[in-house]
Structure 1
Amino acid sequence: MTVCITGDVHHMSMETRDQEYMDRTEVEAAIEYAEIAAEYDVPVTLFITGKAAVEEPDRVRTLANMDNVEIGGHNYWGFTTPVHKGWRALEKLTGGRIGSWNGPRSFQAYEIRKTIEALEAVGAEITSWRDHAYRHDEHTAELLAEYGITHFSDVVEPEGEVRKQGELTVVPINTPPDHEYIYHAFRTPEFVEESDFEGPFGNESYSVREWKREILSIVDNLTAVDEVATILAHPGCMDLADNLETFQELCTSFVSTSECGCMNQIQPNI
């Protein structure tokens, strides 16, 4: 097993910039995304906010009941509470000496528990985790392990390798994440040209089909050396880019292969 297709799914009351352009919820897009993947026997891991399970319990339960879907945690509120904002401001004020995006340790522990409980209430068993916007701090890994998480995918890292970090298996995103690197919704060529974004994969953006070709090229390189390739393709982003057409093409690239698997099946090479 060398390819893991993942996506992040947010509650609609979060009111993200992408959501302004959507004509359905992210969870609704995720259901179609998972159904497309199922047509080609491709498993997917969807990291879902706890609040999405509270706002759309029946839809998240539909995902939890699908044989090709693993559900992971993606925080509860997406760092939008006054506690998060205050702790983040303190981090900025003190130059990183105090504070973080995740809030105080005790609050972060509370949010992890709350997320797991919300997702378990709709039938999901949570052993994988990705923080919203890849935001974690020195407490995150220890807390996740304490609450039964085994797999952690919270870093964008070209050529990154699966490895152990304490009790967790770290699965880096080692292909360009769609949201940061494809044109969609507000992220137009003009927006990109005016922004100063430069991520681990550089500052170049792609059409969604150019992104797919780049993804498949990197996957070939990684699998050739027996490394896990982890793809981040958000259901909402794929929906906005071209109504999930390219996502379907991506799935056809892995049809009838034993090389695809969910996050919780991945183990480091030893």
Structure 2
Amino acid sequence: MSLETRDQAYVDGTEMEAAVEYAHIADDHDLPVTLFVTGKALREEPERARTLAAMNNVELGGHNYYAFSTPVHKLWRGLTGSWNGPRPFQAWEIRRTLTAFEEVGVDVRSWRDHAYRHDSNTAELLARYGVTHFSDAVEPGGEPREEDGVRVLPINTPPDHDHVYHSFRTPAFVAESDFEGPFGADAVSPDEWVDWVLECVDNVETATVLAHPACMQLADGFEAFEALCERLGKYETAPIALADRKP
């Protein structure tokens, strides 16, 4: 919460509290979820992290430590265009994140960089420190593959944060924004987003769905997320580290 993102200004409680509610909703529908958490969030709210770690349907994955908010990150971005910092710094931040997870009893196998910001060093460093699955690319139609020692599971359905109206992302905001991602520039209602996601799920062999707890809470109080969980019940589902077991 100390990152003070635009969504956080609207959240009822904290993002970790929203994540606990989200995980319980998924569990009610026998749906496993992977929650990518920053090391800083674990240190700020360790009891909620332990609550999530103890849930049978939850896999916790790494999401950087500082979410690219330090002076080193900002300086390196200005010098090179990469958000991750120099290779030794990126390696240190990965280790720091993994240590934070160890403190709440979690052995991390899955990773997604904050805002998908990785560079040419990221996958190889993650593999070095025991991460096996990396889900950090938004690719319509993308399928799992091997890359630098990790199994890559691309996000091949429209990410909720970019394409669902919620909090600051109003129709007026979207109309004025110059954002355009791999799934285009459109934002839609939560119900329309659920339909869109399911259409994409049906068009790939292995689908990765990105739905943030805070975004789902802010969009409509988790109503669309609950509908999504119910409709995903007809599919075989798994957390990221078990979603694709090919060598």
The alpha carbon displacement at 1:254 in A equals 2.4
CA distance in 1, matches of 2:238, 2:116: 21
Task: Write out per-residue CA displacement over residues 28-82 of structure 1, whole angstroms, 9 at most, x where no aligned residue.
Answer: 0000000011111100000000010000000011000100000000000000000
SS at match of 2:154: coil
CA displacement, residues 177-234 of structure 1 (integer Å, 9 cap, x when unaligned): 0000111000100000001111000111101110001111111222xxxx11100000
Distance 1:258 1:248 in 2: 15
More displaced, 68-77 or 211-220? 211-220
2:26·2:226 contact (CA, 8 Å) conserved in 1? yes
Distance 1:195 1:258, change over 3 A: closer
Q: Partner residue of 2:232?
A: 254
- Counterpart for residue 46 of structure 1: 35
Residue of structure 1 in register with 2:240 after alignment: 263
Residue 207 of structure 2 aligns with which residue?
229
Structure 1 moving runs of 4+ over 6 Å: none
Structure 1 residue 123, shift from structure 2 partner: 1.6
The answer as to whether partners of 1:34 and 1:68 remain within 8 angstroms in 2 is yes
1:182 pairs with 2:164: yes
CA distance in 2, matches of 1:242, 1:197: 23
Seen in structure 2, the aligned counterparts of structure 1 residues 85 and 245 have a Cα distance that, compared at 3 Å, is same
Structure 1-normalised TM-score? 0.89
Give 5+ residue unaligned stretches, structure 2: none
Match of 1:97 in 2: none
Structure 1: how far apart are the matches of 2:244 and 2:149?
12
Matches within 5 A, 1:112-261: 112-222=94-204, 227-255=205-233, 257=234, 259-261=236-238
Task: Name stretches of at least 5 consecutive residues in structure 1 with no aligned partner.
Answer: 1-11, 93-99
Shift of 1:258: 5.9
Aligned to 1:84: 73
Counterpart secondary structure, 2:119:
coil
Cα distance in 2 for residues equivalent to 1:188 and 1:112: 35
1:109/1:143 contact within 8 Å kept: yes
8 Å Cα contact 2:158/2:197 also seen in 1: yes
Cα deviation digits, residues 80-102 of structure 1 (max 9, x gap): 0000001011124xxxxxxx200
Aligned partners of 2:141 and 2:203 also within 8 Å:
no
3-state SS of paired residue (2:151): strand
Q: 1:198 to 1:258 in 2, by over 3 A?
A: closer
Question: What amino acid sits opposite 1:112 in the alignment?
Answer: I
- Output the amino acid matched with 1:264: A
Other structure's SS at 1:72 match: strand
TM-score where L is the length of structure 2: 0.97
Report whether the alignment pairs 1:101 with 2:78: no
Cα RMSD (Å): 1.2
Measure, in 2, the Cα distance between the counterparts of 1:40 and 1:125. Answer: 25
Distance 1:188 1:52, change over 3 A: same
1:154 & 1:268 partners in 2: Cα distance?
A: 18
- Aligned to 1:229, the other structure's residue is in SS state coil
Residue 74 of structure 1 is aligned with which of 63, 67, 73? 63
Residue 59 in structure 1 maps to residue 37 in structure 2? no
SS of 1:200's equivalent? Answer: coil
Q: Distance in 1 between matches of 2:46 and 2:155?
A: 28
Q: Residues 74 and 131 of structure 1 are in contact (CA less than 8 Å); yes or no, is this contact kept in structure 2?
A: yes
